[in-house]
């Protein structure tokens, strides 16, 4: 807890409590999925962002003019009973492994949100209450080997629009970079069994800018393919996000106006990834 109070950002969480064996299985089954023949994967292809289960490529192919070197499987994960039946049934173990992982990640995410609330001087359940019955989405990212890695990204510079992202990065191949002090890209070195926790835009808004959502990107390389599995804790669509009163000094105006997550998410997907921070559009009264 003390460490959380002192540091503006939480990065590597190594004592996260999720079994190493499960993390290995998640990576293995995710890779197996991307190894399926194109005809098999094609059935799931869609570039419609509102679809709850879809395989896609780049980021938002309908909006962007420059594409990225990434394929991804995006799944809604909560409540599991609602979505798992529609998840891929090939590889055969996909549903079982991924749903076990989703349950564990959710518990970890809720613990972290409690710790973040306390670190801000708020009630432990403050953020959880504001976010409501949180959705949980997963992006299984696959970055193939790229013959000209200097000409593209896996994912260009962005912040995550949700509250908190728990990322399982490839334990063997580097690719994730985070921005420090606005101009310094730091390589996040692969580390077996480590999870990376990124604060998203909603924590920045709720904390009135005390915590910053982290700018990050994924680069690709010519030698090795790379995977990552991102779990996004998202406010429910009707959640009203506004800076916690306690964090706005007397006489000051809050940095951000109130908005629903639905409004924010639609704005996020209507834009290109590497534009100005989406929260900038929600500043002021």
What residue ranges bind ligand AKG (CB under 6 A)? 139, 141, 155, 160, 167, 169, 175-176, 216, 218, 228, 230
Nearer to ligand AKG, 30 or 120 (CB): 30
Nearer to Fe ion, 78 or 217 (CB): 217
Binding partner of residue 175 among Fe ion, ligand AKG, none, CB cut-off 5 to 8 Å per kind: ligand AKG
Residue spans of beta strands (DSSP E) within the chain: 12-13, 53-57, 71-76, 135-143, 155-158, 164-169, 176-180, 184-187, 195-199, 216-218, 226-234, 240-241, 259-260
Nearer to ligand AKG, 114 or 171 (CB): 171
The 164-169 sheet, strands edge to edge: 12-13, 195-199, 164-169, 226-234, 135-143, 71-76, 53-57
Binding partner of residue 200 among ligand AKG, Fe ion, none, CB cut-off 5 to 8 Å per kind: none
User: Could you tell me the smallest distance in angstroms from the CB atom of residue 221 to ligand AKG?
Assistant: 12
Compute the distance between CA of residue 109 and CA of residue 128 in angstroms, rounded to an integer.
Answer: 10
Binding partner of residue 109 among ligand AKG, Fe ion, none, CB cut-off 5 to 8 Å per kind: none
Binding partner of residue 73 among Fe ion, ligand AKG, none, CB cut-off 5 to 8 Å per kind: none
Compute the distance between CA of residue 96 and CA of residue 22 in angstroms, rounded to an integer.
Answer: 11
Binding partner of residue 105 among Fe ion, ligand AKG, none, CB cut-off 5 to 8 Å per kind: none
Residue 79 CA, chain-centre distance (Å), reads 18
User: Could you tell me the smallest distance in angstroms from the CB atom of residue 175 to ligand AKG?
Assistant: 6
Compute the distance between CA of residue 80 and CA of residue 100 in angstroms, rounded to an integer.
Answer: 10
Report the residue number whose CB is nearest to Fe ion.
160
For residue 91, cis peptide bond before it (omega within 30 degrees of 0) = yes
User: Could you tell me the smallest distance in angstroms from the CB atom of residue 164 to ligand AKG?
Assistant: 12
Helix (H) or strand (E) holding 250: none
Binding site for Fe ion (CB under 5 A): 160
């Amino acid at each position: 807890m003390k460490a959380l109070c002192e540091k503006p950002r939480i990065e590597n969480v190594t004592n996260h409590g999720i079994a190493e064996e499960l993390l290995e299985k998640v990576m293995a089954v995710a890779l197996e999925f991307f190894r399926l023949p194109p005809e098999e994967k094609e059935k799931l292809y869609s570039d419609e962002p509102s679809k709850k289960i879809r395989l896609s490529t780049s980021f938002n192919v309908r909006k962007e003019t420059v594409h990225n070197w990434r394929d991804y499987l995006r799944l809604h994960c909560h409540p599991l009973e609602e979505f798992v039946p529609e998840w891929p049934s090939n590889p055969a173990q996909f549903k079982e492994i991924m749903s076990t992982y989703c349950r564990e990640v959710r518990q970890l995410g809720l613990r972290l949100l409690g710790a973040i609330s306390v670190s801000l001087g708020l009630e432990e359940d403050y953020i959880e209450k504001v976010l409501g019955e949180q959705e949980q989405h997963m992006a299984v990212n696959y970055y193939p080997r790229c013959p000209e890695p200097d000409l593209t990204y896996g994912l260009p510079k962005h912040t995550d629009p949700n509250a908190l992202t728990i990322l399982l990065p490839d334990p063997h191949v580097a690719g994730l970079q985070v921005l420090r002090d606005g101009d310094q890209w730091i390589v996040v070195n692969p580390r077996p069994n480590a999870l990376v926790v990124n604060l998203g835009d909603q924590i920045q808004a709720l904390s009135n800018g005390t915590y910053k959502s982290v700018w990050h990107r994924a680069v690709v390389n010519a030698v090795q393919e790379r995977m990552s599995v991102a779990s996004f804790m998202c406010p429910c669509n009707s959640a009203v996000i506004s800076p916690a009163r306690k964090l706005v000094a007397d006489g000051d105006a809050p940095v951000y106006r109130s908005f629903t997550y639905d409004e924010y998410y639609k704005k996020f997907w209507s834009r290109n990834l590497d534009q100005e921070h989406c929260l900038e559009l929600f500043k002021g009264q």
